Structure 1
Amino acid sequence: MTTVEDRRDATTDTPEAPTHPLAMTRGAEVDRVREALTAAGLLTETVRFAFFAPEEPPKAEVLAHDDGAPIDRRFRAVLLDLATGRSWDTVVSATSGEVVSSREIDAPREGQPPIIDAEFELIEDILNADDGWIEALRKRDIEPALVRAVPLSAGVYDHPEEVGRRIVRSFGFRQDHEQDHPWAHPIDGLVAYVDLTDRRVTRIIDVATPPVPATSGNFDDPEVQGPPLDSLKPIEITQPEGRSFTVEDGRVRWGKWDLRIGFNEREGLTLHQIAFDGRPVCYRASIAEMVVPYADPAPTRFWQNYFDCGEYMFARYADSLQLGCDCLGDIHYVDAVIADDFGLPKTITNAICMHEEDTGVLWKHSDLFTQSREVRRQRRLVISFFTPIGNYDYGFYWYLYLDGTIQLEVKATGIVFTAAYPEGGNEYATEVAPGLGAPYHQHLFSARLDMTVDGVRNAVEEAEAERVPMGEGNPYGNAFRQRRTRLSRESQAQRRADGSVVRSWHIVNPEKRNALGQNVGYALLPEGRATLLADEASSIHARATFATNHLWVTRYDPAQRYPAGDFVNQNPGGAGLPAWVRADRDIDGEDIVVWHTFGTTHFPRPEDWPVMPVDHTGFTLKPVGFFDRNPALDVPATRAAHCHNGSGDDHEVHGPAKERAGDGD
């Protein structure tokens, strides 16, 4: 049988006060923040929480923390008054129960707080109270009660009446019955602009009345799925002696790895103080932003650009993961505590999943001269969470390997955003089902990597292959070498990947050397796919400038956390990375943060409908000179009982069994 247990870290529900500055959020802390804001008169009947997350202390304070020393647990809460549209950015000490700071947000200049659940609940009532919306539906012979609508982030365009107002835009999707997936039936050529504060439609754009697609999107209907593929046999994941890692109040130890995990509604899963064999590698790693820009310039669609982190706080909708479906093996779950719109603690059960995976051969050699044969299996610790946001679902998987490698893999699945597909075609979309189109778009993520490679003072070198011309010193033309360029200032460290020269970026510690006299380092290995494709003069280019480069490097500043700015919703642009790097600070041998843009450009396929197979993207951090030799030499050989090689000796095999014995993937 499959040895699997539903094991959960329940420390987030315990009343004991946390003992580490980066410990997971407790429900009691959320209560203390709400009570403090209420006592200060900031949380009234019409005010809601638009954002809530730990306000982590500056890095120096955390690194200097001694076990048992007192800590001040602070949280940041952004408050939104639904009645007036005014908002406040506050910091509250859950330890003292006091409001540390509070200021009103200047929405026209800074942007709006994210869209919240209460506003999702309002949108259909607002639309159905508008004569223009009802008339547009009647013109299409559509019953308003069958239309599902969602508030979609508006962006910033040349609409003076929207400045300082809380605006969303909304499409309609027909839902033919309660179990019908409405994404299959977009009501195209129609969009409503909505003022959420006044709760009214400000503009109706109605430019065409194409037929509503009739295809089914009900991927969970057995008739749509067809007969099950019965030939697949079960795959069972077993660990007879249990798992190899431990978790204690967010601190994880596995092999030579030691780190802390965290969770907040904007970034989701965060990794902290990642160390290997007692040596620091990365102080904090997270996905700090993502943007999904669409390519269709139609009058009803040109504005489609979604910042799922900054505009929607997408991790507040994280799935409660299910044993045997989302995760396999000997699983350890961790609950996450966030705050709902009213500032009440909300526990996402099984928000984080942790398990080990065998990933094939770690290292291997069969020697011609000595006849020795050695093989070791690679495995990785997987720390993940999955979150649905609208039509898409995103899984974020951090992998730690036995050889010191760190990887992030993002898995994108769910349902593609849809539109009607005209008979004459659409150069900005794919027909995925009869009469149903899926517009072209991108999924671009920004990883914030606060590196501490063997210490706080780091530098970045761009490494790439350099061809050597044929001539003196290279008479046969076969030579190439590696060229390294130190990126010394923020203005220099705005770079794009180039696969033609195998470009990577090495984060090195100029004060530490290995046994060979080389600076210790970790290499950021990019996939090197397209960055933001929108025109440089476009609104989305100004708002998502972080996505125009694969690499940015900045001096560490505890206030600089989000690459498109703190308030992304309706931000006019220029916030975040483009604003920070204007200071052009020295980054050579300093406390630095590396920002990496990665992602996919999606030209949808018919195979992506009615539910999309997982698409993958990510990056790798690989040690380069961090160790003096292979750090995984001490990984033991697989015991004979678990290595079916036809021999009692699992690392010295002779005869026919020598052919690939025990080393299959």
Structure 2
Amino acid sequence: MQDSVAKAGAVALPTHPLDPLTPDEIRRAAAIVRMTHDLGAGMMFETISLHEPDKRVVHGAKPGEAFAREAFVCAFDRTNGKVFEARVDLVADRVVDWRHVPSVRPRILIDDIMLVGEVARADPRFQAALAKRGITDIDKVQVDPWSAGNYGLPDEEGRRLSHTFCWYRSETNDNGYAHPIEGLCAVIDLDRAEVLRVDDYGAAEVPMQNRNYAARYRSTFRDDVKPLEIVQPAGPSFVVEGNEVRWQKWRFRVGFNAREGLVLHTVGYEDDGRLRPVMHRAALSEMVVPYGHPGGGHFRKNAFDVGEYGIGVLANSLTLGCDCLGAIKYFDAWLADSKGDPYCIESAVCLHEEDFGILWKHTDLFTGEVDVRRARRLVVSSISTVGNYEYGAFWYFHQDGSIHFEMKATGILNTAGLRPGEQPHYGTVVSPGVYAHYHQHIFNMRLDMAVDGERNRVVEVDTVALPVGPENPHGNAFTIRETVLETEQNAQRNVDFNAARYWKIESAEARNGLGRPTAYKLLPLSPVPTFSDPQSMVARRATFMMRQLWVTAYHPDEIFAAGRYPNQSSGGDGLPAWTAADRPLVDTDLVVWHSFGLHHIPRPEDFPVQPVITAGFALHPTGFFGENPALDVPPAASSMSCCVG
């Protein structure tokens, strides 16, 4: 195995308008806000991140020239719950915009996650509920914080809350999810650091079977796993300068922030010496995990892991040989803590190449000549731990001009306990006395498209069978039907399997050699129907999950599918609010929002630790090129005789 590609030791100054904030910029932004708008002892910083510049600034940026730098800051006062937003000019060192945002709740911070267990375990009511269950060793109780949602309960009004579920750990490294403490939920007021209420839905015996999975608990392993090494003696084929990546003919920039985690900017493909834009920006806009159990506190399980917690904040430091394999380039992530101080998640993003089997092949039936090319792909990935689950965001760039995205879900199932004789109607038994609820993981990806420029349109493509008749006498004919999605209301679409539906993003100006608009198609690979009632609170707050496709006219402030502040929201924010204007979409700067996910009916094989399951989508060039763009990929040097006839 090769060593990883060396990382720069010092933090470089920003060289491009889209570079994430440096530690110094984070520190200065916090200091400037405190100096002009100090909120006192209760002041907390939810977010300090790059305020991304106007597209014209990005397109006009030239190496060595000065450029504007601004930070977006969200701060709140935990003594009264008031939330404020600021925009800070980091060149002039001044606040250029400051506003109060009423009736919203900031996301749950790392401080809150650490606080919840301490507050719950210290509460006499919580201790009494545990004692009813025969649990007296309070320190062995694992308390997981969950976003509380909004269920109109009077005592919860106006408070920033966390809801909790509990498990028991017989030792420090025990798998607590094998030992659910069923029926016990505490509601924590995060700003007052107190238990608002203890909800006890009735006790069940705590299952105590050992279901630990780590290597230290195992004595035998497979003995037929031989070494598999990735060797690139001349190093990787990619080149990284700052945050810009160049690989084969692809060019893009790597970004990162506390909420979305990994962000890709200015994605383009070099074609005959000309860099052709494909996307301006791509990032995970939101996700929701609705669970299907109606009672016992479990109805509140519908976490918005991007907007309520922050996928970026919860990113892992990736490890060579485990998370990534081969010749690796890592990107560190600098974020702000609740006091406005910068901290680093080392190796938060991994960049590497992978062999990907056959790229293309043909054997001439008449001459026996064989032509074949090996494929490789470039992988950009980041993994976050959100409570019991791990989510891995993997972008794949291919030599044929296609882009794939895959979300890899692993970790541990969220579990509940069964009472004697209880039959689980809403989950699967995964261990004696333990079951995992039916649930879904629904993601929404925001794709700010720029196919050969910013003037695009979206075309829905259905395959339709022709009726038997004079034009189809043998009943075998089918063709395609194309429909331009002209406004935001009629661009709210779902997959139609019977029509093999996909969507094309076409250029309004560029044409290929055959006279057709150049385009990329969005190929839905993991559509998920929702089983939440449209009037349910989770559907009202996560309306994005009701459609696999949304399209909006570009607006720089429209970034998050469920709105900027989904924590304890009452719904209607984000996509449903923006698209109510029904703005025109033809031949304009537009954003494509794709909802996809996992419909998870748990299996015993998913426990005690879950093998990776995946969901994703693809972007394929469709008339973007005049021919197969991978014709110039050379034969593999080590096997020239079999690659070229």
Alignment TM class, shorter chain as reference: over 0.9
The ranges of structure 1 where at least 4 consecutive aligned residues each deviate by more than 6 angstroms after the TM superposition are: none
Equivalent residue, structure 1, for 2:385: 388
- Equivalent in 267, 291, 308 of residue 274 of structure 1: 267
Equivalent residue, structure 2, for 1:234: 227
Alignment of 1:346 onto 2:343: yes
398-407 vs 508-517, greater mean Cα deviation: 508-517
Residues 1:561 and 1:149: Cα distance change in structure 2 (over 3 Å): same
Alignment of 1:554 onto 2:546: no
Give how far 1:226 is off.
Answer: 4.8
Alignment of 1:21 onto 2:17: yes
Equivalent residue, structure 1, for 2:607: 609
Deviation per residue, 1:520-554 (Å, 9 max, x gap): 00000002432332111100110000111000000
Is contact 1:528-1:550 (8 Å) kept? no
* Distance in 1 between residues matched to 2:526 and 2:120, nearest whole Å: 43
Deviation per residue, 1:616-653 (Å, 9 max, x gap): 110000000000011111111111xx22xxxx624345
**1:433-582 maps to which residues of 2 (within 5 A)?**
433-582=431-580
Alignment of 1:146 onto 2:146: no
186-195 vs 353-362, greater mean Cα deviation: 186-195
* Distance in 2 between residues matched to 1:379 and 1:159, nearest whole Å: 54
* Distance in 1 between residues matched to 2:93 and 2:211, nearest whole Å: 50
Is contact 1:432-1:438 (8 Å) kept? yes
Question: How large is the RMSD of aligned CA atoms in angstroms?
Answer: 1.5
Give how far 1:213 is off.
Answer: 1.5
73-82 vs 122-131, greater mean Cα deviation: 122-131
* Distance in 2 between residues matched to 1:613 and 1:126, nearest whole Å: 34
Equivalent residue, structure 1, for 2:315: 318
Is contact 2:526-2:615 (8 Å) kept? no
Alignment of 1:649 onto 2:641: yes
Q: Percent identity?
A: 43
3-state SS in 1 of match to 2:641: coil
* Distance in 1 between residues matched to 2:207 and 2:372, nearest whole Å: 56
3-state SS in 2 of match to 1:310: helix
3-state SS in 2 of match to 1:8: coil
361-370 vs 600-609, greater mean Cα deviation: 361-370
Give how far 1:31 is off.
Answer: 1.2
Give how far 1:229 is off.
Answer: 0.6
Structure 2 letter corresponding to 1:158: G
Deviation per residue, 1:442-492 (Å, 9 max, x gap): 111110000000010000001111011111111000001111111000011
3-state SS in 1 of match to 2:34: helix
3-state SS in 1 of match to 2:182: strand
Equivalent residue, structure 1, for 2:425: 427
**1:116-265 maps to which residues of 2 (within 5 A)?**
116-143=109-136, 144-223=138-217, 225-265=218-258
Is contact 2:527-2:595 (8 Å) kept? no
Equivalent residue, structure 1, for 2:303: 306
Give how far 1:43 is off.
Answer: 5.5
Structure 1 gaps of 5+ residues are 654-665
- Equivalent in 50, 54, 59 of residue 58 of structure 1: 54
Structure 2 letter corresponding to 1:3: Q
Deviation per residue, 1:576-629 (Å, 9 max, x gap): 000000000000111000000010011111111110000011000000000001
Structure 1 letter corresponding to 2:516: Q
* Distance in 2 between residues matched to 1:395 and 1:636, nearest whole Å: 32
3-state SS in 2 of match to 1:136: helix
Give how far 1:6 is off.
Answer: 4.4
State the TM-score, normalized to the length of structure 1. 0.94
361-370 vs 614-623, greater mean Cα deviation: 361-370
Give how far 1:132 is off.
Answer: 2.0
Structure 2 letter corresponding to 1:262: G
Equivalent residue, structure 1, for 2:361: 364
Structure 1 letter corresponding to 2:168: R
405-414 vs 39-48, greater mean Cα deviation: 39-48
* Distance in 1 between residues matched to 2:606 and 2:180, nearest whole Å: 17
Equivalent residue, structure 2, for 1:659: none
Deviation per residue, 1:192-219 (Å, 9 max, x gap): 1222223322222212111111122321
Is contact 1:270-1:286 (8 Å) kept? yes
Is contact 1:531-1:597 (8 Å) kept? no
Give how far 1:381 is off.
Answer: 0.6
Equivalent residue, structure 2, for 1:8: 7
Structure 2 letter corresponding to 1:22: L
**1:91-130 maps to which residues of 2 (within 5 A)?**
91-107=87-103, 111-130=104-123
Deviation per residue, 1:418-447 (Å, 9 max, x gap): 100243321111100111111111111110
Give how far 1:119 is off.
Answer: 1.6
3-state SS in 1 of match to 2:6: strand
Is contact 2:20-2:49 (8 Å) kept? no
Number of residue pairs aligned between Structure 1 and Structure 2: 639
* Distance in 1 between residues matched to 2:107 and 2:9, nearest whole Å: 29
State the TM-score, normalized to the length of structure 2. 0.97
- Equivalent in 39, 42, 45 of residue 38 of structure 2: 42
* Distance in 2 between residues matched to 1:193 and 1:57, nearest whole Å: 40
Deviation per residue, 1:59-101 (Å, 9 max, x gap): 2332233333322211112112233322212222222221122
Is contact 1:31-1:344 (8 Å) kept? yes
Is contact 1:445-1:598 (8 Å) kept? yes
* Distance in 2 between residues matched to 1:252 and 1:455, nearest whole Å: 20
* Distance in 1 between residues matched to 2:141 and 2:550, nearest whole Å: 43
Residues 1:556 and 1:205: Cα distance change in structure 2 (over 3 Å): same
Alignment of 1:85 onto 2:81: yes
Is contact 1:385-1:397 (8 Å) kept? yes
* Distance in 2 between residues matched to 1:129 and 1:371, nearest whole Å: 78
* Distance in 1 between residues matched to 2:530 and 2:44, nearest whole Å: 34
3-state SS in 2 of match to 1:357: strand
Give how far 1:9 is off.
Answer: 4.8
* Distance in 2 between residues matched to 1:90 and 1:183, nearest whole Å: 41
* Distance in 1 between residues matched to 2:207 and 2:98, nearest whole Å: 49
- Equivalent in 628, 631, 636 of residue 629 of structure 2: 631
